[in-house]
Each structure stands twice: as C-alpha cells, then as structure tokens.
Amino acid sequence: MGLKVEDVRPYAVAARFHNESLEGVDKFEMDDETYKARQAQTNADASRAELAALSSDLRVGARCQVQLGSTARRGSIRYVGKTQFASGIWIGLQYDEPVGKNDGSVQGERYFDCKALFGGFVRPEKVQVGDFPEEDIEAELQDEEEIESPSQGPILAPPALSHDCMPGGDAVVYEVKRREIWAAFNNEPAASALLRARGASKSTKKKPKMCVGAVLATSSAARRMAQQSPSRSSFKISAPARSESSGQPASSRPSPRSRADAKARTAIGPFTPLSAGLLVATSIALFFYFQSEKAEVERRKANEKKNEKVGRPRIGGEFSLVMPVLGRGSEGESIEARSFTEKDLVGAWTLLYFGFTNCPDICPEELDKMGKVVDQIDSKYGAIINPIFITCDPARDTLAATSTYVSEFHPRMVGLTGSYEAVKKACKAFRVYFSTPPGADPSNDYLVDHSIFFYLMDPEGKFVDAFGRSQTAEDVHAKVEGFISRWQSEGNALGRADIKTRVREDESRKVPF
C-alpha cells in the first residue's frame, strides 16, 4: 500500500505555483473592438445599477414637484437617465408654467419634446414624486372680460296711422294693408327674422338684412302667416258692399261727392296718408338695418379682441425699475437714476433680456446675439428697435455696474436695475425664473440661476415672441423681420428707438437710488 502526502498549506501551494514553468500556457489576448464593447457593457451595467438605486417612483410620465431655491414648481417627468451636457443621472421635466430654460433639448441634443420655456433638467434629489395637480396659470391673472350678447328687445309693430281723411273704399283698402302688416310683424317667423336682423339671434351665421319689402308683405303672404299663428289676435276683412241692381261695388259708382274728394286729393298733392305710412315703414326698416350693421361691426371687434386674448400669452405687465444715466454734479460726472416703467416700451420695437453682469458665459453670448440682430434690423429699417437688459441680481448690479456692462454690447442698449422686490415683480410679469435670494451678500461670489430667453415686444408694448439659446442670430433676425414686415403691411407705424435719449434728457424722471 502506497501513501501519498501533499502539502496543501497556502504558502506551500503558492510557492509550488511560482516554481512551475509557464511556457506551455497560452497568452490571453483581446482585440481593441472586443475590449471597447466590454467596456461599454460595463458602463451600461453601472448606469443600470445607478438608475436602480434611484426611487422607483422616478419614471417617465409621473407628476412631481421640484424645489428650486425657495420656489416650488410642478410638472411631469419626461426623461430619466444620463445626458451629454453633464455627468450623472438627470431628470428631464416639463413644467406646468413657462419657467423652464429649454424645449427638451440641450446643446443640440434632444431628450424629449415640449414647448419653449417649459423644459428643464434637475438632479434626482430635487424631485418629489406625488399626486400634484397641474398649476392653473390663469388663476394668478385677472379674469377675462366677458362679452355679453345684445339683449333681445321687444318686437315692434308699425304705428297705427290715421285714415280719417280717406273716403270709404280707400279707407277699407288701407285698413286691410295696415292690419296685414301688423299680422306680419306679430307672426313668429316674421318676428324671428326681425330679431335676427337686429343681431339678437345666434341660430344662424348668415344674418338676413332688413329691407322695405320684408316689412311691407303682400296681402296673400300676410294672410298665410296670420293663419299659421292662431294664438295671435285674429280679425275679419269685410269686402265693400255691392249694389243690388248692378252688382258692382257701391263705392265704385261715380258720385258728385267722390269726384269732389278726388279733386281735393289732387289739390293736396302726392303726400297722402298712404305715402306717409310707406315713409314711416321705410324709416323703421332702415333704422333696423343700420342697427343690425352696427351690431355686426361691434360683434366683429369683440371677436377680434377675444381672439387676441386667447392667442397671445400673458407675458409682460407693470413694472417700475431705474435706468442709470451719466450726469454732472458739483464734483464732476456721476451716475444718476431715472425711472423706467412698462409704458416706456410703447412707441418702438423692443428686445428684452434678463440676466446678471457677473454671468461668466451665457449672458454675454445672448447679449452679443441680441446686438447682432439689432444691427441687422437697423441696416434695413433704421433705428426702430430698443435692446434692453434687466438684471436678476440687484444686490451686485449697481447703477455703475449695469451702465458699464451694457455699453460693451450695443450703444443703444438700456440697462435696468432696482430693488429686489421691483426686480422680482418685473420677472414675474415676464414669467422669468431666477433664484437670487433676497439677502444675497454682494461680496460673495455666486451664480444666479435664471431663464435664458429674450423677448420681442411690438410698438404697443405687447408680447410677440420669445427666442431661446438654441436659436442663432440669423434665425432670430429672420423671425423679427417677418413680424416687422407684417406689422408694416397692416399700415402701422414702425416707431423710433430713442428711449435711451428721451429718458436721459427728462429731468423729471430723476429718482433717488
């Protein structure tokens, strides 16, 4: 019997392994493509592991609330994963209000689709998923004015005319005509047509127009309408009495009295009670016709105003800021403050941007783009557009800092600043988000998170369009020129961009700051 003894102690096994020859062992080699594929798989596994570590509630389509500084915003999750603009996991959101920074794309890479100013990306720790209802933008705004339709007035009937001067036969004929007209006015179809002519009915888009023929109906038509309305007062029409001997109407036989009356009527002239009745009926018809035309014009104007309210976003409103101007005092040149409100936007086109003077890259790029657009418009139309910069960092952007900053981008550019509350009100009017705290220390070096858009306002001070960072100067210029051409084709004045000069020369605007 043989006995095999083997040393299995770890250090003994390791020593034996090192003493063995490795010449017969094949070398393991991997080409570059296989290595890159394994590396990509490793990164993908790491990304899935990182996503799995997140809350299972962070899914596309979930409602959420985002805490941005001291402000909470609501929206829906549209993207969860890694991005090309920054490392780590990001949550793509579509806000309920236009307080975002993009439309779902960043630096040319699209992650989801939404309207401009509604998209944004935040870190997962800032997102709280829950059953958050959508925010109602109109709840913060004033109620829309209701346009009331004209009330239905009473059905008018032609006035009764005196016919005492008429002889027997003519009086009967006139009375028949007058009663037929009355029946036509009190008949339901005729009354409905009359109301539609006055603009009080909405049952049809095409409104019939009144005329004399619609009022003075023929005898047969009036009788038919009167018979179709049994609820109306009925009446009988008695024919003239006939002579027993000749069978002809008694009033048709000539008599000395009738010949005398005929001569009297001829002497009076063409103006008879019948012609007076026709004149009154014509006047009534013309009155209702012009009333209906007036109501139609007012209805069109009301619809235009209503469509304008529905079609335009509620961007812009009241604000009160200050504009720095160079003044002269007892000690030489100094910076003075002039008041500037939303009324100063009226009279010329405006390109308006919100930012801060300590911005390292984005604000200078956007203001350079704005300056190029203004120069291109000036080359064709002249000075018709005012470039305006409003600070989101009033703690550090003083009068002097704002004045020096805007002068580097365009000679006509206006810089506006003010107190924190005044700047906050202006930003809210234009739906601009910014995160500067009220008690920010000007000596500290900090960045201000804000919306990156500039706005186009027409010469009436109304919002026209907004342009984001992804649009080039050529894109913005093409759109702005299109709006200006359409405005000019409608016969409107282009205005003059002289707000900087007017504010500087108006001493009554001087305010302490």
Q: Which amino acid is at 224?
A: R
Q: Nearest CA to 349 among 504, 505, 493, 475?
A: 493
**HEC per residue, 197-219:** HCCCCCCCCCCCCCCHHHHCCCH
Tokens representing 509 are 């605007």
pLDDT score at 17: 58
322 within 8 A of 414, measured Cβ to Cβ: no
* Maximum separation of any 2 CA atoms in the chain, in Å: 176
Q: Nearest CA to 374 among 366, 365, 364, 385?
A: 385
Task: Quote the Cα angle for 460-463-469, to 5°.
Answer: 135
Task: Quote the Cα angle for 194-196-201, to 5°.
Answer: 135
Question: Is 450 annotated for ligand binding?
Answer: yes
Angle between helices 273-311 and 188-197 (to 10 degrees): 60
Task: Quote the Cα angle for 47-48-54, to 5°.
Answer: 95
Tens of pLDDT, residues 387-406: 999 999 988 999 999 999 99
The separation between CA 321 and the C-alpha centre of its own chain, rounded to angstroms, equals 25
Instruction: Say how far apart CA 357 and CA 190 lie, in whole Å.
Output: 72
Domain ranges of the chain: 62-129, 320-509
Beta strands, E only, 70-214 = 71-82, 89-95, 105-106, 109-110, 119-122, 127-129
Contacts of residue 173, Cβ cutoff 8 Å, sequence gap at least 6: none
The separation between CA 66 and the C-alpha centre of its own chain, rounded to angstroms, equals 26
Question: Helix (H, G, I), strand (E, B), or coil: what is residue 325?
Answer: strand
Residue 19: enclosing H or E segment and its boundaries? Answer: helix 10-19
The separation between CA 185 and the C-alpha centre of its own chain, rounded to angstroms, equals 45
CATH of domain 320-509: 3.40.30.10
Tens of pLDDT, residues 324-345: 988 655 454 678 899 999 999 9
CA distances from 477 to 103, 295, 367, 379 (A): 20, 42, 14, 12
pLDDT score at 115: 92
Task: Encode the chain (513 residues) as per-residue pLDDT tens digits.
Answer: 677 777 667 666 666 656 666 666 677 777 777 776 776 666 665 555 555 546 567 889 999 999 877 788 999 999 999 999 888 889 999 999 888 899 999 998 999 999 998 999 999 888 999 999 887 655 554 444 443 334 444 444 444 444 443 444 444 444 445 555 555 545 545 544 544 544 443 444 444 444 334 333 444 444 454 455 444 443 444 444 454 444 444 444 555 555 666 556 555 556 678 888 888 999 999 999 999 999 988 888 777 665 554 556 778 899 999 999 886 554 546 788 999 999 999 999 999 999 999 998 899 999 999 999 999 999 999 999 999 999 999 889 999 999 999 999 999 999 999 999 999 999 999 999 888 766 667 888 888 888 898 899 999 999 999 999 999 999 999 999 999 999 999 999 888 888 888 888 888 898 888
Q: Which amino acid is at 421?
A: E
3-state helix, strand, coil in the chain (%, to 5): 40, 20, 40
DSSP 87: S
Structurally, what CATH architecture does the domain formed by 62-129 represent? Roll (2.30)
449 within 8 A of 434, measured Cβ to Cβ: yes
Q: What percent of the chain has pLDDT over 90?
A: 36
CA distances from 42 to 29, 37, 45, 46, 246 (A): 19, 9, 5, 6, 124
376 within 8 A of 368, measured Cβ to Cβ: no
Question: Is 114 annotated for ligand binding?
Answer: no
DSSP line for 262-281: HHHHHHH-S--HHHHHHHHH
